Amino acid sequence: MNKYTIIFVSLLSFTLTVYGNNDLAHTAISLVPRPSQLAPGNGDYVFSAQTVFAVENKEQAEVANELIGQFTRSARFTPGLKVGGKKGDIRFVTDASLKDEAYSLNVSSNEILIKAADCRGFFYALQTIRQLLPPAIENSNVTDEDVDWKIPAVAITDEPRFSYRGLMLDVARFFMPKENLLRIIDCMAMLKINKLHFHLTDDNGWRIEIKKYPRLTEIGAWRADRTDVPFPLRRNARPGEPTPIGGFYTQEDIKEIVAYAAKHQIEVIPEIEMPAHCTAALASYPQFACPVVNKFISVLPGMGEDNGGMVFCAGNDSVFTFFRDVIDEVAALFPSRYIHLGGDEAAKAYWKKCPLCQARIKKEHLAHEEELQSYFMNRVAGYVRSKGKEIIGWDELTNSKLPEGAIICGWRGFGQAALKAAAQGHLFIMTPARVMYLIRYQGPQWFEPQTYFGNITLKDVYEYEPIQQDWKPEYASLLMGIQASMWTEFCDKPSDVEYQLFPRLAALAEVAWVQPEQKDWPLFLKALDNYTAHLEKKRVIFARSMYNIQHTVTPEKGVLRVRLECIRPDVEIRYTVDGSEPTETSMLYTHPLTVKDSRTINCATFGAGRQLGKTLALPVKWNKATAKPILGDKPNERVLTNGIRGSRKHTDFEWCGWPENDSVTFTIDLQKEEKMKAVTIGCITNYGMSIHKPGSVSITVSNDNEHFVSAKEINFTPEEIFREGSYVDDLLINLEEEVSARYVRVTTKGAGCCPAQHVHPGQNTRFYFDEIIIE
Ligand code: ACM
Ligand code: ZN
């Protein structure tokens, strides 16, 4: 779980880092990613109908036409274009001494000179110009806006840190319509991101037309409608149930997407998952499952209940024929050098039971099912290589013998498993789930739409440094770059995806492009504001979570300390303690507040005289346990007596969970003898995540912290524990009689495993409490 480590700094106390002649700090020039070198000039260059682009050849003309087209759409003029001539206002000049993707850009009031070694460099120079232009350049129609089509004079030289700057987009769990996808590609290009890892197949949908296997998209692209409940709660389809949810890209669509991406200097890398994450394919062609699978296979609307863990049969040769055929069509559609073969999270239960898989293990002299996966991946990888392509795979490929030349995407935890591949000389890409999985919450969870796990804020992405000090030097040279991964379990419409992507994708771009010593958080935010102004004109949805306040309320010697933090240092936090709405004249937050009684703190961020983030209302409710210590002072347990209730998200930092989940004991020290009649425990149920009430809670009390006597024990029935939904329950424990004691001990036993009819049968339950209320 990521911790906020943000220090609030007022608007006036910025310290801006200025280095070399890169004097971004004192100009209105705001670019993301930040260029390597930048020197502001005098005056502006003004674009008009008289502006002429002079390019050397047809390829450069195509690049120039991208920006010219934007003027045609948004301004009342179209700049001219001359191919082959030297005369013009915006001149492209090839400079073979520059590196791949690098460019130099010299803007003066009468001309613009761009140098690059290749079209990629010219394209990125124009993306820089695009960001320097007024955001109205993104308009799709000419408007009545009075726009000065000018950019400031400046000299820029620029080149990327990494050659692989990627976004993985999961279009299997949520099918992204083509038009929306193209718009995202354009927004990636503005950030100089150059790889789209296209996750086309998974349990929840097969999204690419394969002519030889039409059922993949007739059946595999469609699933039952469960949009009324969150992904983890979704039940499987029944046989014969309509399957209205989904979609797929025809081969013509794929060609259009690839061509559009190529114009934006983006390589589209297709991912075809194997041997797992394949339920959509198996729903279409059940003969490719192990013959021991004897239940109805449907495209999964959610996690699959007892149908999770499906795999292709590794003992059936027709499975490998299927993959050869699929790879033939995929390789012909995607010009990329790479095909991603997945390889993650392959459960081995069916392979263990399957006679064909076991026969394969014997015949190939494999030690176990993990080696069978290696056999599977190597066999398909060999075919991919025979077609002149290279393979990429998830980091589980390092569990056994790696396919020759395989490039590894490090994803689990901080992606460390990829280093096992690096140690064997393999190239790798970092997309660690702990920092680069944009499915996670991007801000204080009280304000965020439901998703999974903990927080990855804009700042967390921005601060990511892939190259670690303890790496062997050769690892750094094998690191191709980094990638953000956007899994779409919780997305039901394109704007849900955009909200999770933006603005964090801009932070990814900054990490991927800019040298670490040149990063500067306040300057990045300023540039980001300019980028999001462009997004706004394109009507792309982006989150404003970076303006919201994260609270931390901690018991401390009988009072509560309330910290309010915002990841943006250029805002003020204003608050009230009398229940009124905060305004720009409310009290300014400068240091943690002390609270000694029940009251509501309302707070919000402000800047330039207006409210920027959402209002956070923090009702503190005092009881006999509030602000009292829990013996042992474990950090996770501090929230239990902090007077603040949790939201309906168990990862919002107000809920306490325990690793030793089956049995937990903690003792509250009330500091003096107190009379009490009841103990109430705030408890959350999130059925889809197997978070349930405990099986039992017992309360014992003591005056000396040695001899405890029972005050009450309560037990919950399976019906009470496994009631479906997502809700907060108060477990009211009326004591047998009023007691007087200083120490109150809570002992909780877990509820064991989820029962057979549960959406996750057999999975261990967990319990979470937010507050202990003693009255
Ligand atoms: C993954 O997140 N299963 C690659
Ligand atoms: Zn099998």
Q: Nearest Cα to 693, choosing from 717, 713, 664, 665?
A: 717
* Ligand 1 atom showing the smallest separation from residue 394 Cα: 4
Distance, in Å, from the CA atom of 575 to the CA atom of 617, rounded to the nearest integer, reads 10
Question: For 579-628, what is each residue's pLDDT tens digit?
Answer: 999 999 999 999 999 999 999 999 999 999 999 999 999 999 999 999 99
Q: Which CATH architecture has domain 164-537?
A: Alpha-Beta Barrel (3.20)
User: Quick check: do 22-158 and 630-774 share a fold?
Assistant: no
pLDDT, tens only, 243-264: 999 999 999 999 999 999 999 9
Run of H or E residues at 114: strand 112-116
| Rounded Cα gap, residues 288 and 178, in angstroms | 30
* 50-59 pLDDT tens trace: 999 999 999 9
Q: Structural domain boundaries of the chain?
A: 22-158, 164-537, 548-620, 630-774
pLDDT in tens, 130-152: 999 999 999 998 888 889 999 99
Q: Whose CA is nearest to atom 1 of ligand 1?
A: 344
Given a cut of 50, is residue 236 above it in pLDDT?
yes
The third-level CATH classification (topology) of the domain covering 630-774 is Jelly Rolls (2.60.120)
Which residue, by CA, sits nearest to atom 3 of ligand 1? 344
Best of 201, 303, 345, 456 to mutate for ligand 1, by most ligand atoms within 8 A of CB?
345
List the CATH code of the domain at 548-620: 2.60.40.10
Asked whether 3 and 20 are in contact (CB, 8 A), the reply is: no
Burial of 590 (0-12, 13-18, 19+ CB in 10 A): exposed
Domain topology for 22-158: Chitobiase; domain 2 (3.30.379)
Ligand 1 nearest atom to the CA of residue 342, by list position: 4
579 by Cβ neighbours in 10 Å (0-12 / 13-18 / 19+) ranks as exposed
Q: Is the pLDDT of residue 26 over 80?
A: no
Element containing residue 378 per DSSP (H, E): helix 369-386
Whether the model pTM is above 0.85: yes
pLDDT digits 0-9 by tens, 195-228: 999 999 999 999 999 999 999 999 999 999 999 9
**273, 411, 486: residue to mutate for ligand 1 pocket, most atoms within 8 A of CB:** 411
3-state class of 418 per DSSP? helix
Given the residues 345, 404, 536, 738, the one annotated as active site = 345
Annotated active-site residue 448? The verdict is no
Q: Does the pLDDT at position 11 exceed 70?
A: no
